[in-house]
Amino acid sequence: MSGNLSLIGRSDSGPLKATSRLIAAVFAAVAATCHGGDARPQEDQPKDRLASPVDRVESAGAVRHLPSGPPAPSAPTSPSRPVGSRSLHPNEPPGFQAFAEMDGSHIPPAEKKQPLEGATGVWYSVQPNNPRLTVDEAPDAPVSPPAVLKSKFPKGFEAGRGPVHFGGWDAAGDMEGQKQKFYLSLWLKIVGPDFEIQSSGQKMGFIASALPINRAAATQVFLWLSGSGEQHAGRAFNVEARQETGPKPQGGFNRNMKQNVNRAQLMTCGQWHQWELVFELNTLGDRNGVLRWWIDGTLVMDHRDVTYIFGDNTNGFWNWKWNPTWGGTKGRRTREDYMLIDHVYMSGIPYTGPKVMGTPRKWQAP
């Protein structure tokens, strides 16, 4: 035993020399782990190794540095790339040019379209001080938390009326800013486990095209949550795109386009959903216009026989508005409900066809 102990201090012994090197390697590895992978003392490490961790979010060419420290948990759908990137608009067609974007942090201050703080394009709000349209905080907002726009559907509200009305478009204007092709992305959340829907359904925004500006009032195409025939509180809904183009004696027509790809009720309450839509004008005289709709990346609607422009009604797409009219013509709400909008983004291809002048029609606030 004593003989073996006497060998411990002999570094020139073959087996023990290897053992000593092994022990030294272990200590080196421990030191490296303590210093983030570098065995040198912390004060001797490169400056970039000592820098506090920062999360970078690039938006509109700017870099925002968030506080250092452990990363905060984020919603599963929260994007990690810059706003306007392909990751946020996966179904935006190549070559489309962004022309309007707003993050929900400000309410447009006037009825006339004008630039809005923190946004691109021009925006408007009918009845800007409407108490039913507010800026709220939603930490789980998927694109630009925490600020979101909140729409209130009051108890006692009558069918056929919209509680709020705002919208936006290209800064070039309703005429010069018209589009041949148009992409829309917005994030929506119906607050709570269910929503009281009118018997026929719920309007969810409008896209103007074709008709003279003073006649269209942004109602030529509207997005729709489908009703069941009776007023009720629903948890999930199908969607439709509907057209109203004026009286038939004047060449007008109505059409309801339903989900023809995935027919599931993907618009569920209590969750954020991304809506992406692509609109393409038809050739005048032909039914070859396009309307495609994705919910959370799932294609639910693909119609390629759409008529947008017809007769002398040849305006391109010229406005988007959020005026979520509650249903059809009968019924009254028995409770309050809320919807949130986190982010609206629009892009497209300019329209060079014939345009029809006009004066926007007044919208009567409820």
pLDDT for 102? 97
Task: At 307, list the tokens.
Answer: 């008529």
Q: Is the omega angle on the peptide bond into residue 142 within 30 degrees of 0, that is, cis?
A: no
Alpha carbon distance 40, 24 (integer Å): 15
pLDDT for 47? 32
Strand 201-210 versus strand 298-306 pairing type = unpaired
Alpha carbon distance 279, 291 (integer Å): 5
Tens of pLDDT, residue by residue over 100-132, are: 999 999 999 999 999 999 999 999 999 889 999
108's CB contacts (< 8 A; 6+ apart) are 114, 116, 123, 124, 125, 128, 166, 168
Q: What domains can you pick out in the chain, each with its CATH number? A: 2-50 (no CATH), 84-350 (2.60.120.200)
Tens of pLDDT, residue by residue over 41-93, are: 333 333 333 333 223 233 333 323 333 333 333 333 333 334 445 689 999 99
Which ranges of the chain have pLDDT less than 50? Answer: 1-84, 218, 359-366
pLDDT for 80? 33
Task: At 184, list the tokens.
Answer: 């829309």
